[in-house]
Amino acid sequence: MRKPFVAGNWKMNTDSRSSVALATGVAEGSVESAGQNVDVAVCPPFVYLRAVAGAVSSSSVAVGAQDIYFEEKGAFTGEISASMLKDIGCTYALCGHSERRHVIGETDELVNKKLTAAIAGGLLPILCVGELQSEREGGQTEEVVARHVKEGLAGLSAEKVSAVTVAYEPVWAIGTGLTATPDQAQQMHAFIRKLLSDLYDNKMADAIRILYGGSAKPGNAAELMSQGDIDGLLVGGASLKAEDFLGIIQAAV
Ligand code: PGA
């Protein structure tokens, strides 16, 4: 039985005061539900990670980074390594979020290096995969998602991949208010699980958590998570209000 997992991706939002207020609200509100029945994480901007980690430290809410660099240290101006993230209390790291792929220009090869470095550094990566609207319309959804999964996990053993959570986030549903229907999402989650079983084995594919992301909110969370292969949600906009995010966590319990 896979434990549900709800993660909030704050993207480039909040400031020093509001990040701590939001984290405190989530930590206080999820005292009842988080931990035992559902894993919860928040992913603030890098500069607020430390303060947010402090604000949630006495709760079971974990902290994740929105990105990571694959080198451990050295002359890589502006980049942040796995060991730095571990050092300030991070548990998770998003790898290959669609905004990094499509706005910043990250390739599958770079995503794979980041994910590999995250695991080597003791972090739990969340590999984000998903097709553009034009790719869905062109009938390429499975091809694109399969490439993101295969290339993202390239070179990793089943044992290493057991540290990974996959997030299926159709790009056309991110921040648009257009959510994939539970059927559309379930279909892709089942496709990803089958692919993992073909690439590795059944046991591993059965154990790995696959989250859905793309305009998830309290009103659609329960229905999405009632699908057999949807193990939780990666939430953007609705994670910026404690009340909404807590509503989504409740739906996962
Ligand atoms: P959204 O973002 O919930 O605002 O659509 C999801 C994500 O990008 O992870």
pLDDT of residue 147: 98
Domains defined for the chain, CATH in brackets? 67-241 (3.20.20.70)
Q: Is the CB of 234 under 6 A from ligand 1?
A: yes
Q: What is the pLDDT of residue 33?
A: 60
Please tell me what DSSP assigns to residue 173.
Answer: G
Q: Among residues 119, 116, 112, which one has the least CA distance to residue 92?
A: 119
**What pLDDT score was predicted for residue 32?**
64
| pLDDT tens track for 15-38 | 999 999 999 999 999 876 655 789
Active-site residue list: 97, 169
Could you tell which of 9, 128, 132 is best to mutate to test the pocket of ligand 1, judged by most ligand atoms within 8 Å of the CB? 9
Task: For 91-114, write each residue's pLDDT tens digit.
Answer: 999 999 999 999 999 999 999 999
Average pLDDT on 224-228 reads 97
In three-state secondary structure terms, 224 is: helix
Question: Is the Cα dihedral 104, 163, 253, 129 positive or negative?
Answer: positive
Mean pLDDT over 161-170 rounds to 97
pLDDT at 35: 59
Among protein residues, the one with the nearest Cα to ligand 1's atom 9 is 236
- The SS3 call for residue 180 is coil
Regarding the beta carbon of 106 and ligand 1, being less than 6 Å apart is answered no
The token duo for 163 is 């540290």
Mean pLDDT of the chain: 96
